[in-house]
Amino acid sequence: MPKISAKGNAMPQSPIRKLVPFAEAAKKTGKKVYHLNIGQPDIPTPQLALDAVKNNDIKVLAYSRSEGSETYREKLAAYYNQHQIPVQASDIVVSTGGSEALLFAMGSIADPGDEIIIPEPFYANYNGFSTASGVKVVPVVSKIENNFALPPIAEFESLISDKTKAILICNPGNPTGYLYTKKEIEQLCNLAKKHNIFLVADEVYREFTYDGVKHHSILSEVGMEDYAIVIDSVSKRYSMCGARVGCLVSKNKEVIDTVLKFAQARLSPPTYAQLASEAALDTPQSYFEEVIEEYNDRRLTLINALKEIPNIEVAEPKGAFYCIAALPVKNAENFAQWLLESFSFNNETVMVAPAAGFYASSDMGKNQIRIAYVLNKEDLLKAVQIIKQALATYTD
């Protein structure tokens, strides 16, 4: 029998999706499952984005340009400039989701065996993207007791070698919800310039910030033109996960020219989805104000309810719509599977994402879970009550 590649065997399973078969089996027994495991917003997609697809008069659904349609990139550039990110359409390559933009970035700046430093816990698919690209993730640990703040810069610097090509951050963070301060962003930018490496920022949750704290883009920092690469997506901003449209943004022309070669190899991003994404850029600010207010209410509801459970430690997110909780269990993955296979409260149970899969270090996050607060407040409270009842009866 032919053998699977070493790269294929090394590809990690998604901690977000690996428990899906157990959730489906639970549903078949009649249980209701509250999904706290995946960042799929329940917020309605802006109608003008849906109408752009529904009402178009396209006769031939043709390829778009490999870098994305000119009109979409022009409108994207205007959007960024409104957020004090001074870029032009030529600084943008449209991708099939933020995932493809990350793959393009890794392929453009790193060779097999090169290293990228990432604060952990981090978006689990960074492990997969790096494996697919032959790149080694070098983790620097952020801690729940510090609310997952940026680790000391000295820890980053101690990990930089001649194989280091970039530092990668997610801001606001998935899975932590941490929002980097301007000082932290400045520290990272100075480090990138000092060591002549790239700073890559996944900024797909830019709009989702709370408690009056603002998001600071690496592209807004002076002198970062050669070093900054931003990954973005419409998935969360407009509740358009299924559109699969993202982009890579950089002022570094060599980076953009190289990314474009990867984009040409896959021909073009999806045409219909670009129409929807372009229309979504006309979404009024009132939409975001209502969405952020709703997520903030959910955030506070979830955090306050979790804190009432004995022996749980909860990080308080300032952005995105996730939080990490440390449970009084030895192995959160076993607990998560047990919730689906063996436990119910009023014939209901919960699906969470074990947080160990969001770390590169094999010994980290074993007792932690990530919760996405993408359900309404009533369902969030029910889900937390189920977790509380489950912990009262669970034994490792």
Q: How buried is 347 (Cβ within 10 angstroms: 0-12 exposed, 13-18 middle, 19+ buried)?
A: exposed
Q: What range defines the domain where residue 325 resides?
A: 6-44+286-393
Q: What is the pTM of this model?
A: 0.95
Contact predicate 324/306, CB 8 Å: no
Q: Does residue 1 lie in a domain region?
A: no
In what helix (H) or strand (E) does residue 214 lie, and over which residues does it extend?
A: none
Q: How buried is 76 (Cβ within 10 angstroms: 0-12 exposed, 13-18 middle, 19+ buried)?
A: buried
Let me know whether 115 and 160 are in one domain: yes
Let me know whether 105 and 229 are in one domain: yes
Q: Does residue 244 lie in a domain region?
A: yes
pLDDT by residue for the chain (396 residues), tens digit each? 999 999 899 888 777 677 899 999 999 999 999 999 988 888 999 999 999 999 999 999 999 999 999 999 999 999 999 999 999 999 999 999 999 999 999 999 999 999 999 999 999 999 999 999 999 999 999 999 999 999 999 999 999 999 999 999 999 999 999 999 999 999 999 999 999 999 999 999 999 999 999 999 999 999 999 999 999 999 999 999 999 999 999 999 999 999 999 999 999 999 999 999 999 999 999 999 999 999 999 999 999 999 999 999 999 999 999 999 999 999 999 999 999 999 999 999 999 999 999 999 988 999 999 999 999 999 999 999 999 999 999 987
Contact predicate 108/258, CB 8 Å: yes
Residues in CB range of 63: below 8 A, 6 or more apart: 267, 268, 271
Let me know whether 365 and 240 are in one domain: no
Tokens coding 77: 């550039």
Phi, psi of 14 (to 5 degrees): -75, 125
Let me know whether 231 and 316 are in one domain: no
Let me know whether 338 and 257 are in one domain: no
Let me know whether 119 and 204 are in one domain: yes
Taking the alpha carbons of 133, 137, 143, 147 in that order, is the dihedral positive or negative?
negative
Let me know whether 316 and 347 are in one domain: yes
* Domain final residue, candidates 221, 253, 280: 280
Contact predicate 318/296, CB 8 Å: no
Contact predicate 26/348, CB 8 Å: no
> Residue 328: what pLDDT?
96
Supply the CATH number for residue 346's domain.
3.90.1150.10
Tokens coding 383: 């889900």
Let me know whether 229 and 276 are in one domain: yes
* Domain final residue, candidates 237, 258, 280: 280
Let me know whether 90 and 19 are in one domain: no
Let me know whether 296 and 240 are in one domain: no
Q: At what angle do helices 285-307 and 377-393 cross, to 10 degrees?
A: 20
Supply the CATH number for residue 136's domain.
3.40.640.10
Let me know whether 110 and 36 are in one domain: no
Let me know whether 332 and 274 are in one domain: no
* Domain final residue, candidates 247, 280, 313: 280
Contact predicate 246/233, CB 8 Å: yes
